[in-house]
């Protein structure tokens, strides 16, 4: 038997960073090479995402994944054993065909993705190569610009405020390591600002500060700006602000309105777009994610008309790493960037296809973690393998986050002079007029 052929596939239930069950898969090749995939999960999930199969019932709050694990062991494993682990496309196509549903709802996207991830890791181990180099080849040299949460809100902080993430992006750093250090300085400055304003120091799901005692959503922007200055940086020149609005969480499809519960304010589609434009005018915001709901294409188009050449506009819930939805956004001139999450679509192959369609049509891909994460650093390798240019993982706190940021630091060091870090040019080269 050839040494690169899959010999064994097994799965188990493990736990993510929110203490929720998730799927872990091991793939073993005939030469003993082993790969392990640990599947993340989201809190604010889009309605068009591939299905994360949960057991339901009372056990573990209905979030158990015993069914998905059984599907790996009894259905996927027998099909994969004997296949060439180096043929990722064939591996993933086999699993998609076995499932046979548009959203991978029969076997579960978490079961399928676990196998897909583990196979990639095993094949790289067989080749004795880092995963980014195995998947991307000699041209995989772009270290992604980090987008890092400082304040977590929305579904990541029990909806203490409506806006989900207040993040920063380093713009003047020459390397990833230097940029990450800048963000750490901002995080530490924010901690002092929180203390001075007598706000409790607790962290949200992704490691950013929990927004206790906020009276408006805009307070997060003011506090973040103060933290950037306190850290010794110039907002808009050294550090830019990014927002994940996650507006699907507070959109009413029946009335076509958006509602900030914190402020007891309801906005029409046009009023909500105008609010975001006003924030961009008054703060150094260079990126906005999900500024419109996942069913509000008209709102997304309107936002793009007003801000599409000034800031990065990321579609997450609207696109859900789905090539057909991304193509619709491109055709309808909706947003200018796509958030890429492997577990939204369910396989490594489909993830790379989504990145390729995004890049080939002039949109910017942003590779992203989920709020429920593991120590698996595969998204760092996917970002570098695809030369995506940007990576969003969460904050600088909590080890499931730092496992990924630290991996990027190591890879940048390993690549040495071959490493390319685009910094602010990742935006300006795409024709987005950010403050720099």
Catalytic residues: 206, 341
Rounded Cα gap, residues 285 and 123, in angstroms: 41
* Phi/psi at 428 (5° precision): -65, -35
- Scanning the structure block, which residue is given the tokens 């990576």? 391
Task: Taking the CA atoms of 176, 339, 53 and 18 in sequence, report the sign of the dihedral they define.
Answer: positive
Rounded Cα gap, residues 360 and 187, in angstroms: 35
Kindly report the CA angle at 179 between 241 and 181, in degrees rounded to 5? 105
DSSP string, 88-137: HHHHHHHHHHHH-STT-TTT-HHHHHHHHHHHHHHHHHHHT--HHHHHHG
* Phi/psi at 32 (5° precision): 95, -10
How is residue 392 written in tokens? Answer: 């969003």
- Scanning the structure block, which residue is given the tokens 């188990």? 12
Do the beta carbons of residue 173 and residue 237 sit within 8 Å?
Answer: no
Burial of 57 (0-12, 13-18, 19+ CB in 10 A): exposed
Kindly report the CA angle at 352 between 326 and 307, in degrees rounded to 5? 35
Rounded Cα gap, residues 266 and 230, in angstroms: 34
Rounded Cα gap, residues 232 and 188, in angstroms: 12
CA 315 and chain centroid, separation: 11
Do the beta carbons of residue 314 and residue 348 sit within 8 Å?
Answer: no
Count CB-CB contacts under 10 A for residue 362.
10
């Amino acid at each position: 038997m050839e040494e690169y052929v899959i010999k064994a596939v097994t799965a188990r239930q493990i736990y993510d960073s929110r203490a929720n069950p998730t799927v872990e898969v091991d793939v073993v090749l005939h030469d003993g090479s082993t790969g392990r995939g640990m599947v993340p999960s989201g809190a604010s999930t889009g309605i068009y995402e591939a299905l994360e199969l949960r057991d339901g019932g009372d056990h573990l709050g209905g979030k158990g994944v015993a069914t998905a694990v059984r599907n790996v062991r009894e259905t996927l494993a027998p099909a994969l054993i004997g296949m060439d682990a180096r043929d990722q496309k064939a591996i993933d196509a086999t699993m998609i065909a076995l499932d046979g549903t548009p959203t991978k709802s029969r076997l579960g996207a978490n079961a399928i993705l676990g196998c897909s991830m583990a196979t990639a890791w095993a094949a790289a181990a067989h080749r004795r190569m880092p995963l980014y180099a195995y998947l991307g080849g000699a041209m995989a040299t772009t270290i992604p610009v980090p987008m890092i949460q400082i304040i977590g809100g929305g579904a990541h902080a029990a909806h203490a405020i409506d806006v989900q993430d207040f993040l920063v992006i380093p713009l003047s750093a020459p390397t990833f390591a230097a940029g990450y250090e800048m963000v750490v300085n901002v995080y530490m400055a924010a901690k002092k600002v929180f203390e001075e304003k007598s706000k409790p120091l607790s962290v949200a799901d992704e490691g950013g500060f929990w927004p206790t005692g906020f009276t408006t959503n805009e307070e997060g922007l003011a506090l973040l700006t103060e933290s950037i200055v306190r850290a010794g940086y110039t907002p808009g020149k050294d550090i830019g602000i990014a927002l994940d609005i996650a507006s699907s969480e507070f959109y009413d499809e029946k009335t076509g309105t958006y509602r900030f519960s914190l402020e007891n304010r309801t906005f029409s589609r046009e009023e909500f777009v105008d609010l975001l434009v006003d924030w961009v005018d008054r703060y150094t915001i260079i990126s906005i994610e999900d500024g419109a709901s996942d069913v509000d294409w008209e709102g997304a188009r309107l936002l793009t008309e007003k801000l599409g050449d000034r800031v990065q506009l990321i579609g997450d819930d609207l696109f859900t790493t789905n090539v057909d939805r991304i193509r619709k956004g491109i055709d309808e001139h909706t947003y200018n960037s796509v958030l890429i999450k492997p577990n939204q679509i369910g396989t490594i192959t489909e993830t790379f296809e989504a990145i390729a369609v995004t890049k080939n049509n002039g949109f910017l891909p942003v590779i992203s973690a989920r709020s429920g994460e593991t120590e698996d650093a595969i998204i760092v390798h996917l970002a570098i393998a695809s030369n995506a240019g940007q990576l969003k993982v969460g904050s600088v706190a909590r080890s499931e986050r730092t496992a990924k940021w630290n991996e990027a630091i190591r890879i940048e060091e390993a690549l040495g002079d071959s490493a390319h870090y685009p910094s602010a040019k990742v935006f300006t080269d795409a024709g987005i007029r950010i403050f720099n």
